[in-house]
Structure 1
Amino acid sequence: MSDPIIALTLLGLLIGLLAMGVWVAVSLAIVGLVAITCFSNAPSGLVLATTFWGHSHSWSLTALPLFILMGEILLRSRLSQDMFSGLAPWLGGLPGRLLHVNILGCAIFAAVSGSSAATAATIGRMSVPELKERGYPEGLILGTLAGSATLGLLIPPSIILIVYGVATEQSIARLFVAGILPGILLISLFAGYVAIRAFLNPDLIPKDNIKFSLREKLRASRNLIPVALLIIGVIGSIYAGLASPTDAAALGVVLSILLAYLTGSFSKSLIWDAVMSATRTSCMIAFILVGAAFLSSAMGFTGLPRNLAAWIGDMNLSLYALLAALTVFFIILGCFLDGISVVVLTTSIIMPMVAQVGIDPLWFGIYLVVVVEMSQITPPVGFNLFVIQGLTGINILRIAKAAFPFFLLLLLGVALITAFPSIVTFLPNAMSG
């Protein structure tokens, strides 16, 4: 049987299992078992056991549950209210006014939670009622929230970057640092879009007659101090080389508990709910990762990734042609799977092709995350769309329509980091240099 037929057979099996509702991790393991049993001579039981054991106690993976726990604690604290009250006085004079609170609020919370869904839920719970009451257009409220919440996947500490780093054996610290400038780029694109819309149509944004003196703005800014200290403590310790991502994650948990205590939202039930939620999420992701690791090992024994990479090489695709094809592929795949599943499903197949054309795996990780961000706001399985629908009760197609301009802005972001790869690589190279 030829390699393309084998690949299509295994892909069809995977799609069939997923369509039947089989867990992603179990589907991956079954496909790996079929591949190694039917298309190689390797001992399937031994490979399964050693792979599951070897990938279930990775030190790099330890950062994952800790960052998830940190985000869950902050999700239940008063952080979002404090951010709104701290940002609103400064942003009221910009074109678009308080819509920028959605964008910057999501960016700040993304920097302390690492989760797109948690960012959408936390900021949306606070901002949507407030902005609706003030008369802001529904489309821009929902669009800025859906688009900006995707920053949770990119701005460190990003859960999906940890998953990519573990799956591809890349430095998680360097990936975190590499995500900073692209994150700032996307924030600027989102804020610029809102400002241009407001400038072209001044009647779109309600007038706000409340004026704040400099003293009042500075007083309001005190609410931003705790979250600023948390970001500096977690990300600053990694960037300065004082802590590994795992150490910084543990520090983040301690600081988030302290923050919850200082804001008066600390309780035993809060901690218990956060621990249980983080445990469920961490176990799900870890299970998917070991399933994907076994599939990757099985594919290695079959020789498919190497042969497919050679096939791609024989096509003599240029770097930009390959990236264009991969972008379309990931967007389509992201319409049906969550971001973490997309990463773990594809890395074993894609990375040899990426290496074949000489793409930096560090740069590719950021590119992949930005493309996966698009899938968070594309139906039918756009997680951010579901979260916002749950918050507002608005039809998911209306939310998707509002988010579409931000999908295009993410696509522009991909084009910019492709044209100017130093946006991604400058800070990691400066750190290592």
Structure 2
Amino acid sequence: MSGGDDRRGGSAEGGPVGEIALPGLFILAALLLVLASKFWLGIGLTVVGVLTGLIFTDVPVWDIVTRLQFSESVSHTLLAIPMFVFMGQALTKSGVVERLFTGLTPWLARFPGKLLQSNVLACTMISATTGSTVATCATVGSTAVPELRRRGYAPGPVVGSIGGASLGMLIPPSLYFILFGLMTGTSISRLYIAGLLPALLIQLLFMTFIGSIALARPGLVPAEREPVTPRALLASIPSMGPVVLLAAAVLGSIYFGIATVTEAAAVGVIGALALMVAFRTFTISALNEALRETIRITGMIMLVFMGATVIANFIGYLQIPAHLATAIEAADLAPVVVLAAIVVLYLFLGTFLEGLSMMLLTLPIVFPIVTNLGYDPIWFAVVLAILIEISQLTPPLGFNLYVLEGATGLPIETVMRWQVPFVGLMLLAIVILFVFPQIATWLPEVMR
């Protein structure tokens, strides 16, 4: 894990939990205080890490912190974050969402659920180019909801299909996988590939549910008035082509070993700018706005990441994860019981913590425990990504709930109610991944 070179200390074998009780309680209380104060999380994490080092260790804290801040910030891989963020911002302003939704409409108009299925596919394809659940919810929500309501679709299923289908954490260019890989030393390229089949599994579950509810309650989905002709199908292909080609270029270059994640991000930036020019949406104003949002989002992510790196270093030095793993082993708990407890913990934390912050806060402790139990790191990364997606739809914090409320103008109660079945389907996907872990691990194993 990041910063491991600075972690020293005795062996954790047989170490009593009592040795970590006081520093553990201090860290927990300090983090709760930071969260309750609504202070900047990144700075708060750094302060907690520094205080932990000063109080409970005898290492040169300031030397370690300054060295960490420099060594982590110059990572070549981190360059992918601002580039992927900019790619998403540029695509959002290029008009690609409207074109994609228009292109998908004739292909799915005859399926059970009709254009609700378009929402699922549109969200998945947009996530493959923006890597942002929030951006996907906002752009597809503001585009699809007015159109589907005009066609007579019930508002609840429409907003439900959008919120539940935003799989930005699982699909490249997911920023989550970049940070997970940097924090744990896991291959980011393999993480990107690992998320594909689970994302398709969840998409299939969503589309099956939508089709089933459309058949069971026909009043929710109106009959299509316009016939779908072969000419209409052919005419829709150019609307979908740019998104498909850009996603294929980014992901394919990673999978076949042609480019690193950072180089693939650069390809994505060039492609996004090219689409803005091609769609005649490239203006100085749009470019400035995309750059401002990129700086804001990247700054927020990096501040939290650097703070998490500091606190992770001192948690590792104190051997807290090793002692907890020893205690779990001594308690003779079945691995599935421990994993279930971790899932419940994340579901609880997701009610009041933002997804990426939740991951960066907990990973230094949870990851060593999970790997010590014998679970594949890549498999766990995928499961954690799904749990973070669930947290985005869990009240009261669930940020995507309020994004959808603002983008669609629907009451928050309606938005929340229609996310429940999709959250249930994501939990079902976790169960399926537990029974069949190969869904997440097979593609990385055969990756070149």
Asked if Structure 1 and Structure 2 have the same fold, meaning a TM-score greater than 0.5 normalized by the shorter chain, the answer is yes
Q: Does 1:275 align with 2:291?
A: yes
Q: How many angstroms apart in 2 are the aligned matches of 1:411 and 1:157? A: 23
Other structure's SS at 2:157 match: helix
Instruction: Say if 2:20 and 2:318, in contact at 8 Å, map to a contact too.
Output: no
**Whole-Å separation in 2 of the counterparts to 1:57 and 1:381:** 33
Deviating more after overlay: 66-75 vs 319-328: 319-328
Displacement, 1:247?
Answer: 0.3
The residue aligned with 2:325 is 309
Q: Report the secondary structure of 1:206's partner residue.
A: coil
- Conservation of the 8 A alpha-carbon contact between 1:42 and 1:301: no
- Which of 62, 73, 78 is the matching residue for 2:79? 62
- Establish whether residue 209 from structure 1 lines up as the match of residue 211 from structure 2: no
Deviation for aligned residue 1:317: 2.0
Q: In the TM superposition, what whole-angstrom CA distance separates every residue of 1:75-109 from its partner, at most 9, and x where no partner exists? A: 11110111111000010000001001110000000
Name stretches of at least 5 consecutive residues in structure 2 with no aligned partner. 1-17
CA shift for structure 1 position 6: 2.8
Confirm or deny: 8 A CA contact 2:339 2:370 kept in the other structure: no
Q: Where does 1:21-420 land on structure 2 (aligned, <5 Å)?
A: 21-149=38-166, 151-420=167-436
Q: Secondary structure at the match of 2:418?
A: helix
The 8 Å contact of residues 313 and 356 in structure 1, kept in 2 or not, is answered as no
Aligned partner of residue 62 in structure 2, secondary structure: helix
1:333-371, Cα deviation, whole Å (9 max, x unpaired): 111111111111111111110121111111111111011
| Partners of 2:157 and 2:220 within 8 A in 1 | no
- Partner of 2:285: helix, strand, or coil? helix
TM-score w.r.t. length of structure 1: 0.97
Q: 1:429 Cα deviation (Å)?
A: 0.4
Report the alpha carbon displacement of residue 5 of structure 1 after superposing the two structures with TM: 3.8
| Counterparts of 2:82 and 2:331, CA distance in 1 | 42
Q: Report the Cα distance in structure 2 between the residues aligned to 1:161 and 1:28, rounded to whole angstroms.
A: 21
- Cα offset for 1:57? 1.1
Q: Is the 8 A contact 1:339 1:373 kept in 2?
A: yes
Secondary structure, in 3 states, of the residue corresponding to 1:381?
Answer: coil
Q: CA deviation at 1:9?
A: 2.5
Corresponding residue of 1:9: 26
Q: Which amino acid aligns with 2:309?
A: A
Letter in 1 for 2:426: L
Distance in 2, Cα, partners of 1:64 & 1:361: 22
Partner of 2:10: none
Deviation at 1:4? Answer: 2.8
- Is the CA contact (8 Å cut-off) linking 1:160 and 1:339 kept in structure 2? no
Aligned equivalents of 2:320 and 2:159: distance in 1? 43
The answer (yes or no) to whether the contact 1:77–1:265 under 8 Å persists in 2 is: yes
- Contact 1:153–1:369 (8 Å) recurs in 2: yes
| Cα 1:147–1:69 shift into 2, 3 Å | same
> Please, what is the CA RMSD of the aligned residues?
1.2
1:190/1:409 contact within 8 Å kept: yes
SS of alignment partner, residue 171 of structure 2: coil
AA matched with 1:220: S
1:303 Cα deviation after fit: 2.1
> Hey, what's the Cα distance between the residues in 2 that align with 1:133 and 1:323?
45
Q: How many residues align?
A: 431
Structure 1, unaligned runs of 5 or more: none
Output the CA distance in 2 between the equivalents of 1:313 and 1:267: 60
AA in 1 matched with 2:24: A
Q: What is the CA distance between 1:301 and its match in structure 2?
A: 2.0
